[in-house]
Amino acid sequence: MFEFSQMGLRLGGPSGISELMDDLGHALAEGGGHIRMLGGGQPAHIPEMDVRWRQRMQEMMAHGDEMEKVLGNYDPPRGNAVFLQALAEMLRRELGWQVTAENCAVTAGGQTAFFFLFHLLAGEMADGRRKKILLPLVPEYIGYANQSVRGELFQAHLPRIEHTGPNEFKYRIDFDTLVVGDDIAAICVSRPTNPTGNVLTDDEIFRLTGLAAEKGIPLIIDNAYGAPFPNIIFTETKPVWNQNMILTLSLSKLGLPGTRTGIVVAHPQVAAAIANMSAIVGLANPGIGQAIVLPMLQSGEILCLSNDVVRPFYIEKSRLARQCVREVFASRFDYHVHRSEGALFLWLWFPGLPITSRELYARLKNRGVLIISGDYFFFGLDGNIDWRHRHECLRMTFTMPENIVYEGIQVIAEEVERAWREKDG
């Protein structure tokens, strides 16, 4: 009916992230016992956290006109000043980072933060050069893939695969072949990595920081699942930050995805630019999430909730899901699971899978099991690279109730087994 611009075609067309969120939204809205939602990043409803959110909302409603101010007033584009101050103080107090409120900016969710950051740093430069974001390890977060408004924005690097145990493996950054060219504007990683649950080691982060410093570019760390909050990390790591790094945080995986509250911690120049972009695109950012967690930042309760409630909950969820995979998949076909070191997902690899992961996705969806095809997470690669591995993987979440996770894993096993039977005739 209408003609779309190039930007409109890129952002308004189908994508992996739109497919994911469409599946998730319909599954959560329509529900029913026939849907096993194993595909999205929807955090679990942790009973203790839901109780705390309800208590906090009641406190706000009972405290003068606090609720009216939160709902009825605009915050500055950078975020609520008291919230930013409390955040900076907590990061100095708990982690020793030399940050002030000038290093921090709020965005309407982490996804928006990355849209701003990628276009702030990369793309067509003032002198006509084009620069890209280097992803030193793929698979990487599906939500980055289609964010460019013009041209390819990413340059990705294939990992090394290390077998770490029976039916278990881990992706490692291949530093021997990693090159940071002059056309790279920033290096970007997620930690823990969405989709695999991989946690880059402190040494890997140290080496990436060094490579970025040599080129005078920032290292961006997507910390949506990481420390200090929500701290969905199952290994020992040291949270790091300096003025040459850009760290993003989020309230979503604490259990507040509906508040759409993302946080950028960066050099003041970057934080100010993010605030200006927020003003242009959306005037201001949602204030409800900032208001809910403000006293928790001031008291340190946010760290106690992360360490004592959220993290143990997901450790147990991961253990149960991996146990179920072992029980259901055993002796039926070849499979590997990425070592679960954090986040909300299992990354399953079926070597030699006779059908593509996207075909497997379609078969599973027809049976009421929603997962994410692994090929979506291998973006930014040279078009000449044809790596079968990228079509043999899928991402499943373990945040749903145990019976749904178990039923979903059973159906996955049946469909993978059927694919092998069809191949063998």
Coil, strand, or helix at residue 281? Answer: helix
In the chain, which segments carry CATH 3.90.1150.10? 6-49+305-424
Nearest to 186 by CA among 249, 239, 117, 103: 117
- Bridge-based pairing of strands 336-338 and 168-172 is parallel
Between 111 and 150, residue with greater pLDDT: 111
* Dihedral angle sign, alpha carbons of residues 16, 22, 28, 33: negative
- Bridge-based pairing of strands 104-107 and 262-265 is antiparallel
In the chain, which segments carry CATH 3.40.640.10? 72-299
Q: How does residue 193 score in pLDDT terms, banded at 50, 70 and 90?
A: very high
Given a cut of 80, whether residue 20 has pLDDT beyond it is no
CATH tag for 72-299 (out of 3.40.1160.10, 3.40.640.10, 3.50.50.60, 3.40.50.11740): 3.40.640.10
CATH assignment of 6-49+305-424? Answer: 3.90.1150.10
Q: How does residue 111 score in pLDDT terms, banded at 50, 70 and 90?
A: very high
The predicted model gives 283-307 an average pLDDT of: 96
**pLDDT value of position 100:** 98
Percent of the chain with pLDDT over 90: 84
- DSSP track, 60-89: HHHSTTHHHHHHHSPPPTT--HHHHHHHHH
Given a cut of 70, whether residue 212 has pLDDT beyond it is yes
Rounded mean pLDDT of the chain?
Answer: 92
* Predicted TM-score (pTM) of this structure: 0.92
* pLDDT tens string 213-251: 999 999 999 999 999 999 999 999 999 999 999 999 999
The predicted model gives 326-343 an average pLDDT of: 96
* pLDDT tens string 41-77: 889 999 999 999 999 999 999 988 999 999 999 999 9
The predicted model gives 5-31 an average pLDDT of: 62
